[in-house]
Chains A and B, each alone.
Chain A
Amino acid sequence: MTTTAPEAGRLEAVFDAAVAADERIEPRDWMPDAYRATLVRQIAQHAHSEIIGMQPEANWITRAPSLRRKAILMAKVQDEAGHGLYLYSAAETLGTSRDELLDKLHSGRQRYSSIFNYPTLTWADVGAIGWLVDGAAITNQVPLCRCSYGPYARAMVRICKEESFHQRQGYELLLALSRGTEAQHAMAQDAVNRWWWPSLMMFGPPDDESSHSAQSMAWKIKRHSNDELRQRFVDICVPQAASLGLTLPDPDLRWNEERGHHDFGPIDWDEFHEVLRGNGPCNDQRISRRRQAHEEGAWVREAAAAYAAKHGEAKA
Chain B
Amino acid sequence: MALGDDALVLSHRLGEWAGNAPVLEEDVALANIALDLLGQARTLLSLVGDEDELAYLREERAFRNVQLVEQPNGDFAHTIARQLYFSVYQQLLYGRLAAEDGPLAPLAAKAVKEVAYHRDHAEHWTLRLGDGTPESHERMQRALDALWRYTGELFEPVDGLPVDWTALHDGWLTAVTGVVEQATLTLPGGPQSGAWTAGAGRQGIHTEPFGRMLAEMQHLHRSHPGASW
Residues of chain A at the chain B interface (Cβ within 8 Å): 51, 54-55, 58, 61-71, 74-75, 77-78, 81-82, 84-85, 88, 123, 173, 176-177, 180-181, 183-184, 289, 292-294, 296-308, 310-311, 316
Q: Given known contacts A183-B224, A293-B19, is B133 in contact with A63 (CB within 8 Å)?
A: no
Nearest Cβ on chain B to A306's Cβ, whole angstroms: 5
B19, B28, B32: the one within 8 Å of A289 (CB): B19
Cβ B35 vs Cβ A75 within 8 A: yes
Closest approach, in angstroms, between the C-beta of A261 and any C-beta of chain B?
Answer: 35
Check B219–A63 contact: CB distance below 8 A: yes
Q: Which one of B37-45, B107-115, B170-178, B185-193 contacts A? A: B37-45
B43 to chain A, nearest CB (A): 11
- Is there an interface contact between A77 and B42, defined as CB atoms closer than 8 Å? no
The residue of chain A having its C-beta at the shortest distance from the C-beta of B226 within the complex is: A181
Closest to B219 in A: A63
A181-B227 in contact given A78-B35, A81-B31, A85-B24 (Cβ < 8 Å): yes
Residue ID in chain B nearest A85 by CB atoms: B24
Judging by beta carbons under 8 Å apart, are A297 and B31 in contact? Answer: no
A292 cross-chain contacts in B, Cβ below 8 A: 20
Residues of A within 8 A of B61 (CB): none
The complex places the Cα of A66 from the Cα of B55 at a distance, in Å, of 8
Instruction: Decide if A62 touches B216 in the complex (CB within 8 Å).
Output: yes
Question: Which residues does chain B contribute within 8 Å of A177, judged by CB atoms?
Answer: 229
Q: Are A123 and B128 in contact (CB under 8 A)?
A: no
Q: Are B51 and A65 neighbours in the complex by a CB distance under 8 Å?
A: no
Residues of chain A contacted by B131 (CB below 8 angstroms) = 307, 310-311
* B229–A69 CB distance below 8 A: yes
- In-complex Cβ contact of B28 among A68, A78, A184, A303 (8 A): A78
Which residues of B in the span 109-154 have a Cβ within 8 Å of any Cβ on A?
A: 124, 127-129, 131-133, 135-136, 139
Near A by CB (< 8 A), chain B positions 11-39 give 12, 15-16, 18-28, 31-32, 34-35, 38-39
Please measure, in the bound complex, the distance between the C-alpha atom of A24 and the C-alpha atom of B179, giving whole angstroms: 49
In chain B, positions 72-114 with a C-beta closer than 8 Å to chain A are: 75-76
Partner of B25, one of A85, A173, A306: A85
Cα distance A84–B27 when bound, in Å? 11
Chain A residues contacting B167 (CB-CB under 8 Å) are: none
Determine the distance from Cα of A66 to Cα of B28 in the docked complex, in whole angstroms: 22
Judge whether B217 is part of the interface by a CB distance below 8 angstroms: yes
Task: Determine whether the beta carbon of A303 is less than 8 Å from that of B220.
Answer: no
User: Are A300 and B19 closer than 8 Å at their CB atoms?
Assistant: no
Q: Which residues of A contact B12 (CB under 8 A)?
A: 62
Residues of B within 8 A of A82 (CB): 28
Judged by a CB distance under 8 angstroms, whether B52 is at the interface is yes
Closest to B31 in A: A78
Q: How far is the CA of A180 from the CA of B221 in the complex (A)?
A: 13
- Listed from nearest, the 7 A-B pairs whose CB atoms lie closest are A297-B22, A303-B132, A303-B136, A78-B31, A58-B18, A300-B22, A81-B27
> Whole-angstrom distance from the CB of B70 to the nearest CB of chain A?
13
Q: Is the CB of B220 within 8 A of A123?
A: yes
B228 — which chain A residues lie within 8 A by C-beta? 66, 176, 180
Q: Which B189-229 residues sit within 8 Å CB-CB of chain A? A: 216-217, 219-221, 224, 226-229
Docked-complex contact B23 and A301, CB < 8 angstroms: yes
Residues 50-78 of B at the A interface (beta carbon under 8 Å): 51-52, 55-56, 75-76
Cβ–Cβ contact B19 & A58, under 8 A? yes
> By the criterion CB–CB under 8 Å, are B224 and A65 in contact?
yes
Are B227 and A67 in contact, with the CB atoms below 8 A? Answer: no
Give chain B residues whose Cβ lies under 8 Å from the Cβ of A293. Answer: 19-22
Chain A residue numbers with a CB within 8 Å of B217 are 62-63
Complex interface: chain B residues within 8 A of A310 (CB): 131
Between A173, A184, A300, A306, the greatest number of chain B beta carbons within 10 A of the residue's beta carbon is seen for A300
Which residue of chain A lies nearest to B128 when distances are taken between CB atoms in the complex?
A: A307
The residue on B at minimum CB distance from A61 is B15
Give the CA-CA distance A308 to B128 in the complex, in Å: 8
Contact yes or no, A316 B32, CB < 8 A: no
Let me know if B224 and A54 touch, CB within 8 A. no
27 A–B pairs (Cβ distance < 8 Å), ordered by A? A51-B24, A62-B15, A64-B220, A65-B56, A65-B227, A67-B38, A67-B41, A68-B42, A70-B15, A75-B31, A78-B27, A78-B31, A78-B32, A88-B24, A180-B228, A289-B20, A293-B19, A294-B22, A296-B22, A297-B22, A297-B23, A302-B136, A303-B129, A306-B133, A307-B131, A307-B132, A316-B128
The answer to whether A67 and B52 have CB atoms under 8 Å apart is yes
Report yes or no: B31 in contact with A300, Cβ–Cβ below 8 A.
no
The interface centre, meaning the residue of A75, A181, A299, A316 with most chain B CB atoms within 10 A of its CB, is: A299
- Besides A62-B12, A78-B35, 6 more A-B contacts (Cβ < 8 Å) are A51-B19, A54-B19, A58-B18, A67-B52, A78-B31, A307-B132
Residues of A within 8 A of B52 (CB): 66-67
Question: Which residues of chain B are within 8 angstroms of A67 by Cβ–Cβ distance?
Answer: 8, 38, 41-42, 45, 51-52, 55
